Amino acid sequence: MTADEALLSPDALPSRHGYLLAALVLVASLALVAIYATGAGTRERELAQARLAGEAEQVVARLRQQLLTYELITRGGVSLFATVQAPSPQQWRHYTDGLELDRRFPAMLGLCYAEALSPAALQELQLRRRAAGMGLFNVDPPGARAQYGPVVLLEPRTIANINTIGFDMLQEPTRAAAMLAARDSGAARITAPLQLAQVGAGRGLVIFAPVYRAGIVPSDPSARAAALAGWVCAPFRLDGFVEQAVADAPGTPGLRIVDIGDGVETLVYAHDAALAPGKHAAAVTHSVEEQVYGRRWRLDFHQVRAGNGGSALLGTQGTIVLGMLASFLMFAVALSLARTQSRAQQIAARMSESYRRSELRFRSAMRFSAIGKALLDRDGRVVDANLALANILRASPEELMGRDFQALFSGTGDAAEERSRAATGSVYRVTRELRRDDGELRHVLLTYAQVPGDVGQDVASLAQVEDITDRVRAEAQINALNRTLEARVALRTRELTRANEALESFAYTISHDLRAPLRAIDGFTRVLGERHADAFDDAGRGYLARVRAATARMGELIDALLKMSRVSRGELRREPLDLSAMAADIVADLRHGDPQRQVDAQIEPGLQASGDSALVRNLLNNLLGNAWKFTRGRERGHIAFHRVEHAGETWFEVADNGVGFDEAYAGKLFRPFQRLHAQDEFVGEGIGLASVKRIIERHGGSITAEGRVGEGARFRFTLPDDAGVG
């Protein structure tokens, strides 16, 4: 073969085309470098401007996020007023301590509540605080006004914050404007820059969130003033706020924030680099206006560009040289590609045969699959379908050819499918309905997947059809059962609420309505005994004494019943408890009250639990007090408080060697006023163990009792650490 024949052979043509392509790449690359060199300066400035705009957007987003966080903190305070009608200073302190303002938000001076008060309401507040022993509440500045907005709650309790209590924010115009705007809009509002009320705090801002009575914002704006209860406010320093928001932002440009909300420019914050934007000739600037909780801010950004007129690293000339080197490098790569082109053609021929076999395996797997499948073209028409799909649709595969696949189903619209496709990418699933010719409605799950292949082929996607009718019906039944269960829970909750209300009413009746006749009986019998004693013989005077003793006993029973009812009410406050130390204190009190008794008390050290301190002390006082009382007939009593293993769990046990009880009547021990011993033998109201059981159940625990007549008793109980009972 001659040289000319070699150049004209089919194998030589790709190589020659490759050389021509390499030359074109070199020429095009050099032309691009030349074009770049002509406009490098302009592009560099535009790039710097775009970079500054991007960095400014990041800073604005961080400032916006920081302000949103401050708003959420104040909204949390508003939510506290929605759950608790009038939070106490301790509740406000607990909420603020949980926020960890000093660590997480050092720019925030605290979280306060300013109450909206009329003159009469202010006087009532002062009397109420004086009656609670909180001292005199003074309003600053003093004087008579139609409306007051003094700070009544402010945490954390720093010296500056304590001195701010009583400051009337409504008397300062800047604060009043934001407070009234928050009241009328029902949303959080921020002040213009002002001098903060805390001594030495400097200039800052205050964000106000309105608090309405009943925790609901009135829909009618005209009714919001009457429904206003006060404002939750968060004062913060300007410099600390901005520095915290952009502290970790890389390459933060110079920043100047100006408040333009009132038509007058008021400086909010200024960084040193932003004070003199004309200092550098190569400087770029960018301004953004933002609506900030009722105010309008302008953020001016300033940054100095590199002075080499081109790339910050190489400059224009260096970039041109680098572009030329890259051009020659691409030329070398193009030559290398030309040499490997012939090798790639040989590999492509082998891959074509492999692709043909892969295509055959794919179609065989689809046709004999137990799940309905169809191949669709780019218009969504059926190109091929298997027997499983034909069985679901009640049609032969031949009848399905060329039909619009979407038209075979109904249910979910195209918009839903487009959202599902956008969310999941190349593979997405939708649920549709299938109405068969016999009228039966079936639910199917369609799975679409793109089929990779050559450009122009007739197959574009694979659709998989699964009949999920039985699953949908089962889910509907489960949802119906869940709704029924929710209704039952709501019914039981209402019944429990009514029962608690009835218990409250019963306790009130006992406390107030029964004591009056008891006092009358006791008073008249006492008068009879004192003034008309001579009219009675010894038996009559004895009867009067018994009547007075019975009324005293009934009064004690009323006190015991009220005491037991209080155990079931009130907030349960869990904290770590040292049961050993608590039991030792109780035993010491028992010894002090009955020093003649000889009782051995063994208390295991290191007994720890979690619970309400007052309730658990009441529990131990009843159990240890009963053990002390019922060992009175022993020559030497023995009481033990220790930890035991029972039924695979760890229990606390109080044991004694007292008179014990018949286990046949153990069920009566924890019922109110159920006694297994006579009153003249062992005094008591029969309420102690009932209170013990209620205390333990409130902590999510349980209690059991064992005993034998004449051999003592054992009471075991648990106090789970993770119980959510309250």
257-305 confidence digits (pLDDT tens):
888 887 788 888 887 544 444 445 457 888 898 899 989 999 888 876 5
Give the model confidence (pLDDT) of 101-158 as tens digits.
888 888 899 999 999 999 998 888 888 888 877 777 889 899 888 899 999 999 998 8
C-alpha to C-alpha distance for 289 and 257, rounded to whole angstroms: 10
C-alpha to C-alpha distance for 224 and 45, rounded to whole angstroms: 53
Q: Are residues 687 and 711 in the same domain?
A: yes
pLDDT category of residue 170 using cuts at 50, 70 and 90: very high
Assess whether pLDDT exceeds 50 at residue 8. no
Can you give the residue range of the structural domain that contains 260? 52-302
b/e sequence 357-375, b meaning 16+ C-beta within 10 Å:
eeeeeeeeebeeeeebbbb
Lowest-pLDDT choice from 303-317, 639-653, 686-700? 303-317
DSSP letter string, 250-318: TTPPEEEEEE-TTSS-EEEEE-GGGS-TTS-TTEEEEEEEEEETTEEEEEEEEEEPPTTSS-TTTHHHH
8 A C-beta contact, residue 258 and residue 266: yes
Assess whether pLDDT exceeds 70 at residue 531. yes
Number of neighbouring beta carbons within 10 Å of residue 27: 12
In a domain, 691, yes or no: yes
* Percent of the chain as helix, strand, coil, to the nearest 5: 50, 20, 30
In a domain, 431, yes or no: yes
C-alpha to C-alpha distance for 494 and 298, rounded to whole angstroms: 55
8 A C-beta contact, residue 122 and residue 166: no
Q: Which residue has the higher pLDDT, 64 or 337?
A: 64
Token duo for residue 297 = 């801010």
In a domain, 60, yes or no: yes
- Mean pLDDT, rounded, of the chain: 79
Q: Are residues 517 and 609 in the same domain?
A: no
Give the model confidence (pLDDT) of 16-73 as tens digits.
676 777 778 778 878 887 777 777 667 777 787 888 888 888 888 888 898 999 899 9
Q: Are residues 128 and 171 in the same domain?
A: yes
Instruction: Compute φ and ψ for 248, nearest 5 degrees.
Output: -100, 15
CATH of the domain at 158: 3.30.450.350
Element (H, E) at 496: helix 469-512
| Residue-level pLDDT at 355 | 72
CATH of the domain at 679: 3.30.565.10
Q: Which of 205, 104, 100, 80 is nearest to 153 (CA)?
A: 80
Q: Which of 216, 217, 175 is nearest to 193 (CA)?
A: 175
Helices marked H in 659-717 = 688-698
Q: Are residues 602 and 654 in the same domain?
A: yes
Q: Are residues 453 and 544 in the same domain?
A: no
In a domain, 508, yes or no: yes
Q: Are residues 287 and 406 in the same domain?
A: no
Q: Are residues 516 and 548 in the same domain?
A: yes
Give the model confidence (pLDDT) of 405-463 as tens digits.
877 888 666 666 666 666 666 687 888 888 776 777 888 888 888 776 555 566 778 88
Domain C-terminal end among 340, 361, 382? 361
- Total domains present in the chain: 5
| Residue-level pLDDT at 574 | 87
Predicted TM-score (pTM) of this structure: 0.41
Q: Are residues 106 and 30 in the same domain?
A: no
Domain C-terminal end among 444, 467, 490? 467
| Residue-level pLDDT at 718 | 92
Q: What is the share, in percent, of the chain residues with pLDDT greater than 90?
A: 14
8 A C-beta contact, residue 619 and residue 719: no
Torsion sign (Cα): 551, 557, 560, 564: negative
In a domain, 281, yes or no: yes
Assess whether pLDDT exceeds 80 at residue 576. yes
Q: Are residues 524 and 480 in the same domain?
A: yes
In a domain, 690, yes or no: yes
In a domain, 722, yes or no: no
Indicate the length of the chain as a whole number. Answer: 726
HSE, CB side, 13 Å, CA atoms: give it for residue 627. 30
Domain C-terminal end among 506, 534, 564? 564
Q: 623: helix, coil or strand?
A: helix
Q: Are residues 544 and 628 in the same domain?
A: no
CA 599 to chain centre: 53
Q: Are residues 540 and 680 in the same domain?
A: no
Q: Are residues 704 and 579 in the same domain?
A: yes
C-alpha to C-alpha distance for 672 and 688, rounded to whole angstroms: 8
Lowest-pLDDT choice from 213-217, 454-458, 675-679? 675-679
List CB contacts of 425: < 8 A, sequence separation 6 or more.
none
In a domain, 723, yes or no: no
| Residue-level pLDDT at 565 | 63
